[in-house]
Amino acid sequence: MRRISKTEYVALRKKGQSYMELPVHDENLQSEYDSTWENLSVFLHQSPEDIRDWQLNRLSYLVDYAFDNIPLYHKKYSEVGYKKGSIKTWADFYRLPYLRKEELIEGFPGEIVKDIDDFMLSTRSSGSSGKFVTIAVSQEAIYKDTLQTIRQFYMQSGGKYCADDTILFIYTCPWWVSQIKGKFVQDFLPTTTKVEDAIERIKATRPRYISTYPTYLEKIASTGVKLSDYGVELVIVHSEQSDKKQRKMLAKALNVEVLDEYSSEELTRIALECPNHHYHLEEDACFIEIIDKDGNKLPDGQLGIVVGTNLLNTATPIIRYIQGDLAKITTEENCECGNNGRIIEGVKGRNMDCVITDTGERIPASCFMDIAYNWFLVYDIPVHGLKYQFVQPEVGKLDLYIIEGEYSLQLDAIKETIYTLIPRTTQLNVYKVDKLPYDQGTKYRPVISLVGR
């Protein structure tokens, strides 16, 4: 199998970034918006049966596409006797084998794309297993995802979001495109931004919407500001577990609405909390199933493991992928918001620890996950297949354990990146290991704090 060298891997991403800055995408997005918004905006208002029919049709196309073009799927589906065009019913789809993250990692690069150059547009996830995987993303998926961002804010704001509004993303890295013809502007700040600086930006630019981590929002709230004073109406939180009570308190403290988003790099938007506080599945972004630990499909109402199929991306198709979080689907309830996306409940798996510095500052796990993510994006350290875990044995000390992936690492370079987050006085050790200290079959956690245990 053809390998992809470190420099080639980094160069491809750079090429992809400049490619997406070309003005042609602005034109394309505008025409995609013009031709699809009317249907897209009401897609989830269709009857559940119509949504289901559309999904089966899309899944049938995706599976055939993957079988024809992606070596991993050709092999995997051939082994179970799959023939092109044979997904006609849901039972046909449910016969397909599940996809594990390991398969994507082992299949990199040549087995999980049609063409190695497809990695020009790619994304990385360390997700629920903590092991980095690189996935190629199609341009078409980026376009659709961009329009679904518009729909997300339209839906979660109760129809208030409009083309002249700005959304401030305080996040790991900016989205591929930052506006469409000067409208639907997405402003960006990295999560490594000092909270005072973020507040200054909010004061100066007055975004109507903010999207960030709940722990970052807590830091904003701890300064005592009322975001409503600066024109903010709604904050969307994501990536980490936050419960209803916590969001309610934040909403009260900041005098804005706070709603949740459940998403992952592999599956994009999974479910969004509507103004009535139900999590509706984004049925045209991904198709979600719930299974038990033996792989049996569970009926609605039972708690199990989330399995998802990405309905947008064909560059590295993600089909019946074991996401690993726990949740259940309820179809009993009808929501007054008019969204007929199935309702998902009890999502678990995003609980995180904090690291405490010797000055008493609490740095949330998401910041460390961001740094790990940025090893590649900012510091050009290739991470595919790499797995890591931060362990804080006591205040003032931090240990990082790394299992090398596809590429060999320079630990000093990694160490420097972590010092952008913690004080230099912290005693930081980085170890290359074969096995992470806390990874015994239970859900992987990227940051473990032993302080006070």
Straight-line distance from the first to the last Cα atom of the chain, in angstroms, rounded to the nearest whole number:
47
Residue 116 within binding range of Zn ion, rule CB under 5 A:
no
Binder among 57, 89, 223, 276 for Zn ion (CB under 5 A): 276
Q: Cα–Cα distance between 157 and 41 in angstroms, integer?
A: 13
Residue 274 within binding range of Zn ion, rule CB under 5 A:
yes
CB of 55 to Zn ion, least distance (A): 19
Residue 212 within binding range of Zn ion, rule CB under 5 A:
no
Q: Cα–Cα distance between 193 and 113 in angstroms, integer?
A: 35
Q: Which stretch binds Zn ion (CB under 5 A): 38-46, 90-98, 196-204, 273-281?
A: 273-281
* 375-406 CB burial, b ≥16 within 10 A, e <16: bbebeebbbbbbbbbbbbeebbbbbbbbbebb
Q: Which stretch binds Zn ion (CB under 5 A): 46-54, 75-83, 222-230, 332-340?
A: 332-340
Total number of residues shown for the chain:
453
Binder among 114, 151, 219, 278 for Zn ion (CB under 5 A): 278
Residue 335 within binding range of Zn ion, rule CB under 5 A:
yes
Residue 271 within binding range of Zn ion, rule CB under 5 A:
no
Burial zone of 197 (CB within 10 Å; 0-12 exposed, 13-18 middle, 19+ buried): exposed
Q: How many residues bind Zn ion (CB under 5 A)?
A: 6
Judge contact between 118 and 337, C-beta under 8 A.
no
Residue 340 within binding range of Zn ion, rule CB under 5 A:
no
CB of 330 to Zn ion, least distance (A): 12
Binder among 191, 339, 357, 392 for Zn ion (CB under 5 A): 339
Judge contact between 348 and 146, C-beta under 8 A.
no
Residue 251 within binding range of Zn ion, rule CB under 5 A:
no
Q: Which stretch binds Zn ion (CB under 5 A): 34-42, 67-75, 338-346, 390-398?
A: 338-346
Name the residue nearer to Zn ion (CB basis): 20 or 335.
335
Reference 269, options 326, 317, 227, 312; nearest CA is 312
Name the residue nearer to Zn ion (CB basis): 210 or 272.
272
Residue 337 within binding range of Zn ion, rule CB under 5 A:
yes
Q: Cα–Cα distance between 162 and 180 in angstroms, integer?
A: 12
CB of 90 to Zn ion, least distance (A): 25
CB of 47 to Zn ion, least distance (A): 15
Judge contact between 74 and 82, C-beta under 8 A.
no
Q: Cα–Cα distance between 169 and 370 in angstroms, integer?
A: 14
Sites of contact with Zn ion (CB under 5 A): 274, 276, 278, 335, 337, 339
